[in-house]
Structure 1
Amino acid sequence: MGQNYEFTVPSRTIIGLISGTVYERNFNFGLTCTYVLFTFVLIDINSLAYSGYIKELGLTYGTFNISSGCNFAGLAIGCLLLIPCVHKYGRRPLYLISATLQLVCAIWWANFHRAGELITISFLAGIAGSVSEAIVIITVVDLFFVHQHARMNGIFIFMQSLGATGGPVIAGYIVVSLGWRWMWKIVAILVGVNLLFVLCFFEESKYTPTLVGHSASSKTTDFVEDKEKSGTTTEAQPVSSRVTVDVQRSRKSIRQRLAFVTKTDIPIFQHFYQPLIVLFSFPAVAFAALTYGSILSWFSANVSAGSYFLIANPYNFNAAQIGLFHLGGFAGTLLATLTAPPLIDWLIVRLAKRNEGIFEPEMRLWMMFPAAAINSAGLMLSGIGLAKGLHWAVLAVGNGIFGFGFIITADVALTYLTDSYPNILGDALIAVVFVRNGLAMVIRFSFTSWIYGMGIQNTFILIGVIAFITAILPVLLMIYGKRARVKTASKYKGFASRQQVARVS
């Protein structure tokens, strides 16, 4: 027998698209970022047309809130229905379907006349955008290494924020200059261009093994190299495959990478119900769902309050001014994107070195503690400022502070999830995004009554407290998270074995 050396080889170094150049990977990721940008522009500029809806179509604020709630309902339902398909048919067809439906919605938005149409369009736009949050994170795991996840997820979250905060800035000027219908027409043009880029250049990143060599079944997913050493006999540990790979031959052709569908012969029915089981089976998934869902719910509530109160006394903002007001939040998210993800990646490398070179996903959670204070401070400053009629610059600073904390919170939650359970990420993200949009839908439907019942100041003080408590929950995972992962290891392997392929990284 030989001496056994065991090591893990990341799949992206040898298989499919990931064996391409850094330029190819970054270009593919750039296309996903552009897709995310226009997805959130489409979803979040509707409030800029609110006054135009009232004046031209006679719609009420109640109808506007219902349409917003239906948008979140579409985001939640669409995720459950569409994301499971990435396992069987690949990432590319989902991007194409989503971008096509977004184009249809933008054109319809520019030409609707009735309340029922607005509600229907909002629901369909939610379905179209539902895949953006989960499938992009799956693509990040496809394309990049663990130590790059926080940085890439940070860029993804920033593109979300750029669409949600930067999009309204430009849209506000378009509404004032050309009218709200032209706002949607211009968005339709941009979404159409994005669809063409995705159609022509986005390459499938799904892992479909095309290895050249021989393999033998066993129990783990590590590669093994045997060396003979005289006088020593060591029993080798069982492994799932002993593979000799020809790297060049494993590279897919351009036709394969741009195929409309990359189908694998696996059942996907289980992925329609497994997300809910995963949600309640793994603490890391529940944490990510609660944290990511709540922080985005407070973001939605903050935007809704600003759009509603800023058009009244003492502010009397028009659409362009409301759009410019979003620059505060944009500045906070931009600063956080430039500083927080690299800091998080640097931090985990330092902590891993101190831990004898062993990385633990819980190392990322240290950043949640400053984020908790930042989120609460920003939300309370914005809400109390609106209640007291403080200068708009104070409110903008509050939005910027919250935007900074928002990036840190969302990045840590999502990256902790990808590090903890990469092999069931599809099901886990469906659960996370479903909870996120479900919470946002409930908050949006009830927010007006909440404000009228408690007042804007007390409402945001309560929101700030809830945001703080939610963000410090990771202290439990820092104590018990590793033990929980050990206890759920067999269950995790069981769920992972039912995914489309076994990953080797």
Structure 2
Amino acid sequence: MVISKTIQHGSNHEKPAVVTDSVGSNADASPSHETTEFVLSKDGFKLFPQPILGDHLDPLNWSFAQKHIILAIIMSIYFMFTFITTTTVPSFPELEENYAASLEQMNWTVAIPALGLAVGPLLWASPADIIGRRPIIILGTAMALAATVGAALAPNYSGYMAARFFQGLGVSPASNVGLAVINDLFFEHERGQKVGLWVLAIDLGLLFGPLIGGAVDLAGYVWIQWLSAILFGVMLLAEVLLLPETLYPRHLMLSEQHRRRHPCTDADKAAPSYHDAERSKIPRTKKLAFMNVAPVPGVRHPKLFDTIYRFIKTFKYAVVPISIMTYCFGWYWWVLSVVTLVPTAYAQYSPQIQGVLYLGLIIGTLVSEVCCSGSLSDYIVLHLSKRNNNQKTPEMRIWLAYPAATLTAVGLIVWGVSVDRGYHWIVGQVAFAIFGAGIQMGNTAVCSYVVDAYPMQSMAMMTFYAVMLNLSAFIDPFFVVPWVENWVNTEIACFSIVMSPWFCTGWTSLELAKSQKVKITFKSRNGGHVIKNLNIDILGHLFYKSATMESQSFNWCPTNMLDMPPS
């Protein structure tokens, strides 16, 4: 075995090493060689996905600045994902008077955009895999802009509700399509931090919404919608000018790169050139039309209804619904409850002061992301993988969920007691900070886990996540008013104690699942024949383990939907 290393001299700032693994045999006195090349990170881990060295059209090779400009655009859209939902909360009294509606009907105006946010990912995912990420994001933002103008000009309650639905539908690509863009831009070992920043955007949008809405309400409740329209307009301009296509035909380019480097069986005659990929005539990423509406060449194109089919089929893979549904309905549920309960809990204050009382949640969320969350998740994975022979498993992300669940429960309970007993407002702010920190850490842990567990189905995973997250947000406002009328805040908070052990139990079941030994059988499509002699790198990708072909038993880790078509 011969291992050689060279350093990439591309535009990518990381400059990973290229490792060539050559195995020779002397059967019949005729040497033969089988050569496998792969790229390592600076820490010695095999990069996933593998970049196309020398190809400036590969998003993985783009500069640090360009990657993070695109990330900032995606984060800004995801910020609006929840901002539009909660920014109208301080203006409820004016909206009630203008539309002759009850408080319960006003809570429905928070639920309706959440319904659009839940339906949207099912509609946008397949087109984003066909014509690309860029046109879908631009189209969605344009729809959200038009709907926001409609909400500002709505003459009656029904028109306002319709506009609110299309607001949510338009901004919904920020969830699954937005995460797919992050998946296109960054390597696996970078995703914890980047997903953490992406999650930070949705959490801050949820919390800054009432804060900004309360201040803007001084100019009139209509200006809350006009401000959102201005923000959507700026984002639309940034998307048109600064957001290139990121959907890249990676499998095709990797196979072409291997073929060009090794045109014959004698590896000594195959002189590698890291610029071969640039000579390909396939239009991709920046070479596509400015407003492309044609299928992106070189990638697998799903059918339009494949997303709905995959969403239903996802229930078959227990680790996904266990983690996501437990988080959405047993944990994240309480965020929107708290946001809509604040005006009732602090009824003695003006809407502007009530908006300021969300600062505790904002501070806790920011501190959690800076000190913990994504970066801490990446550190935990790196530390645990070094103890596991440099083999990473998605379940290493789970460890961050335990302190997150504890912080969330403690913060929510303390806040409920402080409101019920009339404690000083600073007690509630400290509780909010603890609660916000737990929510941010938990959201990062869930998103990072499902993406790492099923990297080839990241779009399907985030579609399931986005639908469930927003279904919980859609259902919640229908129960908040009856709870406030019949329960006290302490009882609502203490109910979270019941849900937190359920959440921890869900994660513990995932830990138990990964320790089981199973026998893996690969079958062909047409007759149940066992497929043997699979490439060891394929097995390593599927199971994140150093599998050996002498044994058919592997340490099972749910990292791919073996019978689900890839996204």
- Shorter-chain TM-score: which interval? 0.7 to 0.9
Shift of 1:470: 1.0
Separation (CA, whole Å) in 2 of partners of 1:491 and 1:334:
33
> What residue number does 1:239 align with?
none
- Do structure 1's residue 499 and structure 2's residue 530 form an aligned pair? no
> What residue number does 1:319 align with?
351
- Do structure 1's residue 82 and structure 2's residue 130 form an aligned pair? no
For the Cα contact (< 8 Å) 1:63–1:115, is it kept in 2?
Answer: no
Shift of 1:260: 3.3
Q: Unpaired segments of 5 or more residues in structure 1?
A: 218-222, 230-241, 501-505
> What residue number does 2:288 align with?
256
Shift of 1:404: 0.3
Shift of 1:266: 4.2
Q: Which has the higher contact order (CA 8 A, sep 6+)?
A: 1
Q: Matches of residues 111-130 of structure 1 in structure 2 within 5 Å? A: 111-130=153-172
> What residue number does 2:240 align with?
199
> What residue number does 2:326 align with?
290
- Do structure 1's residue 475 and structure 2's residue 517 form an aligned pair? no
Shift of 1:33: 1.2
**CA displacement 1:308-330 (0-9 Å, x = unmatched):** 332x2xxx222211211111100
- Alignment CA distance shift 1:145-1:293 (3 Å): farther
- Alignment CA distance shift 1:262-1:359 (3 Å): farther
**CA displacement 1:178-236 (0-9 Å, x = unmatched):** 1111222122112111111112211111123463975899xxxxx9998879xxxxxxx
Separation (CA, whole Å) in 2 of partners of 1:434 and 1:309:
29
The one-letter code matched in structure 2 to 1:319 is P
1:449 pairs, out of 452, 459, 482, with 482
Partner secondary structure for residue 97 of structure 1? helix
Separation (CA, whole Å) in 1 of partners of 2:450 and 2:478:
29
The one-letter code matched in structure 2 to 1:179 is G
Separation (CA, whole Å) in 1 of partners of 2:355 and 2:345:
14
2:444 pairs, out of 411, 426, 437, with 411
Q: Unpaired segments of 5 or more residues in structure 2?
A: 1-31, 39-45, 519-542, 544-554
Deviates further, 13-22 or 95-104 = 13-22
Separation (CA, whole Å) in 2 of partners of 1:224 and 1:145:
29
> What residue number does 1:190 align with?
231
Identity of aligned residues (%): 20
Separation (CA, whole Å) in 2 of partners of 1:288 and 1:243:
44
Moved over 6 A (4+): 223-229, 242-245, 484-491
Q: Matches of residues 246-395 of structure 1 in structure 2 within 5 Å? A: 246-249=276-279, 252=284, 254-256=286-288, 258-261=290-293, 263-264=295-296, 265-310=301-346, 312=347, 316-340=348-372, 341-395=374-428
**CA displacement 1:50-107 (0-9 Å, x = unmatched):** 1211234332112112222222222212222222322112111221122112111221
> What residue number does 2:495 align with?
462
The one-letter code matched in structure 2 to 1:349 is L
Separation (CA, whole Å) in 1 of partners of 2:265 and 2:371:
44
Shift of 1:167: 3.4
Separation (CA, whole Å) in 1 of partners of 2:202 and 2:127:
23
Q: TM-score, normalised to structure 2's length?
A: 0.77
- Do structure 1's residue 425 and structure 2's residue 455 form an aligned pair? no
1:45 pairs, out of 87, 94, 119, with 87
**CA displacement 1:226-264 (0-9 Å, x = unmatched):** 8879xxxxxxxxxxxx99872434694744274433624
Separation (CA, whole Å) in 2 of partners of 1:30 and 1:302:
28
> What residue number does 1:2 align with?
33
> What residue number does 2:16 align with?
none
The one-letter code matched in structure 2 to 1:449 is P
Shift of 1:377: 0.6
Partner secondary structure for residue 295 of structure 2? coil
The one-letter code matched in structure 1 to 2:455 is P
> What residue number does 1:13 align with?
51
For the Cα contact (< 8 Å) 2:51–2:61, is it kept in 1?
Answer: yes
Shift of 1:121: 2.0
Partner secondary structure for residue 244 of structure 2? coil
Q: Matches of residues 198-237 of structure 1 in structure 2 within 5 Å? A: 198-209=239-250, 211=253, 214=256
- Alignment CA distance shift 1:226-1:291 (3 Å): farther
The one-letter code matched in structure 2 to 1:207 is Y
Write 1 or 2 for the structure with the bigger share of helix.
Answer: 1
Separation (CA, whole Å) in 2 of partners of 1:243 and 1:361:
34
For the Cα contact (< 8 Å) 2:453–2:560, is it kept in 1?
Answer: no
Shift of 1:294: 3.7
For the Cα contact (< 8 Å) 2:89–2:213, is it kept in 1?
Answer: no
The one-letter code matched in structure 1 to 2:345 is F
Separation (CA, whole Å) in 2 of partners of 1:131 and 1:214:
32
- Alignment CA distance shift 1:120-1:48 (3 Å): same
For the Cα contact (< 8 Å) 2:377–2:397, is it kept in 1?
Answer: yes
Separation (CA, whole Å) in 1 of partners of 2:556 and 2:375:
31
Separation (CA, whole Å) in 2 of partners of 1:257 and 1:382:
53
Deviates further, 102-111 or 291-300 = 291-300
For the Cα contact (< 8 Å) 1:92–1:261, is it kept in 2?
Answer: no
